[in-house]
Amino acid sequence: MEITPTNETKYSSDVHHVKINGKEFFIIGTAHISQNSANLVREVISNEKPDVVCVELDPQRFKALSERKRWEELDLKQLIKEKQLSTLLINILLASYQKKLGEKLGVKPGVELLEATKVAKEFNIPIELVDRDVRITLKRAWNSMSFWQKTKLMTVGLASVFEQEEISEEKIEEIKQKDVLNEMMAEMGKQMPVLKKVLIDERDSYLTQKMKEANGYKIVSVVGAGHVNGIIKALESDAEQNLEEIEVIPPASVAIKIIGYGIPTIIIASLFYIGFTKGAEVAGDNALFWILANGIPSAFGALIALGHPLAIISAFLAAPITSLTPVIGAGYVVAFVQAYFQPPKVKEFESVTEDVSHFKKWWENRLLKILLVFLLSGIGSAIGTYVGAYKIISNLF
């Protein structure tokens, strides 16, 4: 195995030349918002004429970048059924962050990745999309966090969206030299090490293995600058990565399962005990308190979001029931009703990455309103669950 840097007089220091087991890799570390990176990608592919071009994209992200009408095909109701609204929200926040920077730089996010596919097609070179499905990455990241870590992430993410801080010329120049998305992920990793493992380390291993499996002997790989060191280390170790191991969505933690099933069990058992020891009327009063304690805050959350009247009613009716099952939360039920009666228009999908950074737009854009209904009704139900549980348990004694 031979690891050698590219001759700096031929390409910039962003290009790394690696020879391993008869294969030759040209690894281009790019910034995801940089015209310079796009120009470098075109230069290397045009000069080297590789057997294959590997790009740090998965089919979902490639489709999102390359198809302008991609939102028309989004099945929002299916996303809700699959409980992927949290993933959708994170995707929107990430896309909004990149779009803001891209507007400052005058470059569309991901331009260098699309340039790689464009040049490859010009020279009739096969393309390999070598990144892990972004939905799997986000789900693995989400499931790896505790409840408080999830709360912190969502709070920080939402707060950062509304920041209107001006970016200085110096900051813009610094951003041009970086892989913005991976820089942000790395920063999140410092705050929550569990995220670094999923968002950076696992993807380094995934990208490397897919590159090694690509057909051909000369390979140009276009990846974010934040992945280069990890990929080179993985190549140096020459270890095989079982991709199936890091494509599995991990189940919820044991603690979350205990809480999910424990609270309903305690509530139902408590009501039966109260009925047995204090009579059916007292048990009925406690059951009514549970319904009101859950239903009212959840409905109020949907009301604050200015949800559809039937969504508000569904919040009141669903919260007391969904709080007694870990299978689905009130937020998803309410979001489905909201999406059914007030589906977003295509233009609202297309403007969502812009609208998400404007507080008022969360009530005007129908897609954001569905997410707002989901969040606020869910928070209301959670508050009601703990208030109701405290009241019922205290009545045992």
Nearest to 84 by CA among 135, 154, 130: 135
The pLDDT of residue 52 is 96
The pLDDT of residue 184 is 58
pLDDT band at 36 (very low <50, low <70, confident <90, very high): confident
- Tens digits of per-residue pLDDT, 321-356? 998 887 788 999 999 999 999 988 877 877 887 888
Q: What is the mean pLDDT of the segment spanning 128-133? A: 93
CA pair distance 120, 140, nearest whole angstrom: 32
- Tens digits of per-residue pLDDT, 226-284? 888 889 999 888 788 888 888 887 776 666 667 677 788 888 898 898 888 888 998 89
pLDDT band at 169 (very low <50, low <70, confident <90, very high): very low
Using the Cα atoms of residue 137, residue 140, residue 142 and residue 144 in order, give the sign of their dihedral: negative
pLDDT at residue 306 tops 90: yes
pLDDT at residue 83 tops 50: yes
CA pair distance 226, 113, nearest whole angstrom: 15
Instruction: Name which of 44-48, 50-54, 155-159 the model is least confident about.
Output: 155-159
Nearest to 186 by CA among 150, 134, 224, 242: 224
pTM of the predicted protein model: 0.70
Q: Which has more confidence, 162 or 57?
A: 57
CA pair distance 124, 258, nearest whole angstrom: 55
Give the other-Cβ count within 10 Å of 239's Cβ.
Answer: 10
pLDDT at residue 305 tops 90: yes
pLDDT band at 289 (very low <50, low <70, confident <90, very high): very high
CB 241 within 8 A of CB 206: yes
CB 315 within 8 A of CB 294: no
Q: Which has more confidence, 65 or 98?
A: 65
The pLDDT of residue 13 is 79
- Tens digits of per-residue pLDDT, 139-150? 888 777 776 777
Q: What is the mean pLDDT of the segment spanning 210-224? A: 93
CA pair distance 128, 356, nearest whole angstrom: 32
The tokens for 266 are 């305690």
The pLDDT of residue 9 is 38
pLDDT at residue 164 tops 60: no
Residue holding tokens 């693995």?
140
Strand arrangement, sheet containing 23-30: 2-3, 15-20, 23-30, 218-224, 52-55, 127-129
Mean pLDDT, the chain, integer: 81
pLDDT band at 190 (very low <50, low <70, confident <90, very high): low
Between the two ends of the chain, the Cα-to-Cα distance in Å is 72
pLDDT at residue 70 tops 70: no
CA pair distance 72, 49, nearest whole angstrom: 36
The pLDDT of residue 337 is 95
CB 112 within 8 A of CB 194: no
Q: Which has more confidence, 392 or 110?
A: 392
The pLDDT of residue 174 is 57
pLDDT band at 178 (very low <50, low <70, confident <90, very high): low
pLDDT band at 380 (very low <50, low <70, confident <90, very high): very high
Sequence-distant (6+) residues with CB within 8 A of 166 are none
Q: Which has more confidence, 329 or 72?
A: 329
Q: Please write down the HEC assignment for all residues of 279-304.
A: CHHHHHHHHHHHHHHHHHHHHHHHHH
pLDDT at residue 216 tops 80: yes
